[in-house]
């Protein structure tokens, strides 16, 4: 059997006595669309912040592609292939969609400013490749016609797409999606769910999704992990999780 892409083992983190994560263990295989759900305060965002290196857990282990990443700086974790989107749209409003995506893509350009001045040939080639990649991603996410538009005035649902596009421009192996359909209407939610499924199956990008919209989660996820008060109370297929008595009691009774 191949090594899982992400292995979370016995992860624990407390804030002033509050156990935000309490011995959480699970692993995600390459290519999976994996969801983490649970009531408010269950520890979902804390988990994301531990994986992306923003929080340092008190104990446990996080292995990515077989390598321990716990204690690694956030920019190195991003460079290693873990990208994330945020619960609240976090894009620069005065930038155009193209500028926004190029900025993300820049992380992958090998030439720095000085190298760019000395070896402008390679730098120019990389810039052209970056533009090509940005255009491809924008087209895939239905943003092709909006590349020259400023992000600020765009509708919320489109801004969420720009955020997704930005993370895809980093060519991640693992994408952490923090409430990708929060604040979206029914139609936008259905479109985003279809896009995430496509990106997962067509580009083979493994996804870890946190989301409160249960019909969306259950419709697109391969497996679902349920947290409650920082502890894992279930880990199974969507069909099994919706029938789990502990999950219904802790969360789904209210969410469905």
* 15 is an interface residue for ligand ATP by CB under 6 A: yes
Number of residues that bind ligand ATP (CB under 6 A): 11
Q: Spell out, one character per residue from 35 to 64, where the chain touches ligand ATP: x when CB under 6 A holds, - when not.
A: ---x-xxxxxxx------------------
Contacting ligand ATP (CB under 6 A), which of 3, 10, 18, 139?
18
In the complex with ligand ATP, the residue whose CB is nearer, 64 or 251, is 251
Write out the chain in H/E/C secondary structure. CCCCCEEEEEEEEEECCEEEEEEEEEEECCCCEEEEECCCCCCHHHHHHHHCCCCCCCEEEEEECCEECCCCCHHHHHHHCEEEECCCCCCCCCCEHHHHHHHHHHCCCCCCHHHHHHCHHHHHHHHHHHHHHHHHHHHHCCCHHHCCCECCCCCHHHHHHHHHHHHHCCCCCEEEEECCCCCCCHHHHHHHHHHHHHHHHHHCCEEEEECCCHHHHHHHCCEEEEEECCEEEEEECHHHHCCCHHHHHHHHHHHC
CB of 239 to ligand ATP, least distance (A): 23
Select the span of 1-9, 33-41, 213-221, 233-241 touching ligand ATP (CB under 6 A). Answer: 33-41
In the complex with ligand ATP, the residue whose CB is nearer, 90 or 139, is 90
Please state the length of the chain.
256
Is there a contact between 23 and 11 (Cβ–Cβ < 8 Å)?
Answer: yes
CB of 22 to ligand ATP, least distance (A): 10
Q: Which of residues 189-248 bind ligand ATP (CB under 6 A)?
A: none
CB of 49 to ligand ATP, least distance (A): 8
In the complex with ligand ATP, the residue whose CB is nearer, 137 or 216, is 216
In the complex with ligand ATP, the residue whose CB is nearer, 2 or 40, is 40
In the complex with ligand ATP, the residue whose CB is nearer, 39 or 81, is 39
In the complex with ligand ATP, the residue whose CB is nearer, 20 or 100, is 20
Residues 6+ away with beta carbon under 8 Å from 39: 228, 250, 251, 254
Q: Which of residues 60-99 bind ligand ATP (CB under 6 A)?
A: none
| Phi, psi of 185, deg, nearest 5 | -80, 175
CB of 13 to ligand ATP, least distance (A): 8
CB of 207 to ligand ATP, least distance (A): 17
Two tokens at 145?
């016609």
How many CB atoms within 10 Å of residue 10? 13
In the complex with ligand ATP, the residue whose CB is nearer, 22 or 222, is 22
CB of 209 to ligand ATP, least distance (A): 13
Binding site for ligand ATP (CB under 6 A): 15, 18, 20, 38, 40-46
């Amino acid at each position: 059997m191949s090594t899982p892409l992400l292995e979370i083992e016995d992860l624990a983190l407390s804030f002033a006595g509050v156990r935000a994560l309490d011995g959480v263990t699970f692993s995600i295989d390459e290519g999976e669309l994996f969801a983490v759900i649970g009531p408010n305060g269950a520890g979902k965002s804390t988990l994301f912040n531990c994986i992306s290196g923003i929080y340092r857990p008190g104990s446990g282990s996080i292995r990515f592609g077989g390598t321990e990443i716990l204690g690694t700086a956030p920019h190195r974790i991003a460079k290693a292939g873990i990208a994330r989107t945020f619960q609240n749209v976090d894009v620069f409003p005065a930038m155009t969609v193209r500028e926004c995506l190029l900025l993300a893509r820049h992380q992958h350009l090998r030439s720095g400013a000085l190298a760019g001045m000395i070896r402008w040939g390679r730098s120019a080639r990389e810039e052209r490749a970056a533009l090509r990649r940005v255009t491809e991603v924008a087209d895939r996410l239905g943003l092709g016609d909006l590349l020259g538009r400023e992000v600020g005035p765009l509708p919320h649902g489109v801004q969420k797409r720009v955020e997704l596009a930005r993370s895809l421009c980093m060519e991640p192996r693992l994408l952490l999606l923090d409430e990708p359909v929060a604040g979206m209407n029914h139609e936008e939610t259905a479109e985003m769910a279809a896009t995430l499924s496509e990106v997962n199956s067509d580009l083979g990008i493994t996804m870890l999704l946190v989301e409160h919209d249960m019909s969306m989660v259950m419709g697109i996820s391969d497996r679902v992990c349920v947290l409650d008060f920082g502890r894992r109370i279930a880990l199974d297929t969507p069909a099994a999780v919706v029938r789990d008595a502990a999950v219904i009691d802790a969360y789904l009774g209210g969410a469905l």
